[in-house]
């Protein structure tokens, strides 16, 4: 387990004594990620915002040095996200940024999901902070992500955590996305402790 977070809302209503455990997702928990995907995807207005990843894709992420984080309430996964090595369109995005970089210095952040019953608990932010900290510990220098221009909540979350918008590009589904990058600060991470976080 990485840390415990105190949550405050269930199904949009304030509640007490609700805690979640933030942890790394291991292969024995991949089916929990798939189950969460179906719960989230079924409630989305624009289902092209979230692409399905099966257990083989998730295994490949870990095999290639990436990682997946999640938040459990008891034995139910209520939020998850991942960092993976750049591939596909992201290779082109990174090339366009004209950075002094090696691809091994960069993670791509994505596949962010929060159970609709637990929205309003800052879980997106909590998992992004966790991914930033974990990426720094792994020696990465940058995180890149792409977000649909209509997804204002996610855009606000990444901007508030220091991501910089570089340009817009359309994906294979015709969705226009902002492409963001964050330069990682190893000194800042030394001041972050694994303590209880109150949302």
The reported pLDDT for the residue numbered 88 is 92
Sign of CA dihedral 84, 87, 93, 95: positive
What pLDDT is recorded for position 102? 87
Higher pLDDT, 151 or 193: 151
Give the class (CATH, top level) of 3-193.
alpha beta
Task: Please compute the mean of the pLDDT values over residues 177-188 and round it to a whole number.
Answer: 86
pLDDT of residue 188 exceeding 80, the answer is no
Give the pairing of strands 176-183 and 142-148: antiparallel
Cβ atoms < 10 Å from Cβ of 181: 19
Average pLDDT over residues 168-197: 74
Predicted TM-score (pTM) of the model is: 0.90
Distance CA 70, CA 173 (A): 27
C-alpha distance from residue 33 to each of 26, 58, 70, 138, 189 (Å): 10, 9, 8, 23, 27
Rounded Cα distance, 138 and 84, in Å: 12
pLDDT tens figures, 70-112: 999 999 999 999 999 999 999 999 999 988 778 899 999 999 9
Domain boundaries defined on the chain: 3-193
The more confident residue out of 193 and 119 is: 119
Tell which residue, 147, 133, 137, 149, has the closest CA to residue 181.
Answer: 147
């Amino acid at each position: 387990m990485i840390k415990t977070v105190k949550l405050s809302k269930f199904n949009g209503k304030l509640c007490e004594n609700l805690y979640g455990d933030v942890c790394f997702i291991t292969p024995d928990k991949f089916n929990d990620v798939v189950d969460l995907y179906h719960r989230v995807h079924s409630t989305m207005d624009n289902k092209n915002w979230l692409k399905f990843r099966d257990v083989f894709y998730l295994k490949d992420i870990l095999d290639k040095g990436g990682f997946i984080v999640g938040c459990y309430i008891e034995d139910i996964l209520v939020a998850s996200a991942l960092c993976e090595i750049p591939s596909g369109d992201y290779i082109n995005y990174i090339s366009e940024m004209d950075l002094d970089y090696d691809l091994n210095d960069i993670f791509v952040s994505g596949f962010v999901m929060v159970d609709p019953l637990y929205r309003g608990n800052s879980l997106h932010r909590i998992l992004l902070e966790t991914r930033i900290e974990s990426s720094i510990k792994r020696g990465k220098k940058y995180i890149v992500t792409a977000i649909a221009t209509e997804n204002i909540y996610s855009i606000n979350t990444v901007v508030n955590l220091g991501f910089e918008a570089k340009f817009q590009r359309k994906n294979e589904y015709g969705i226009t996305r902002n492409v963001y990058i964050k330069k990682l600060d190893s000194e800042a991470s030394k001041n972050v402790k694994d303590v209880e976080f109150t949302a």
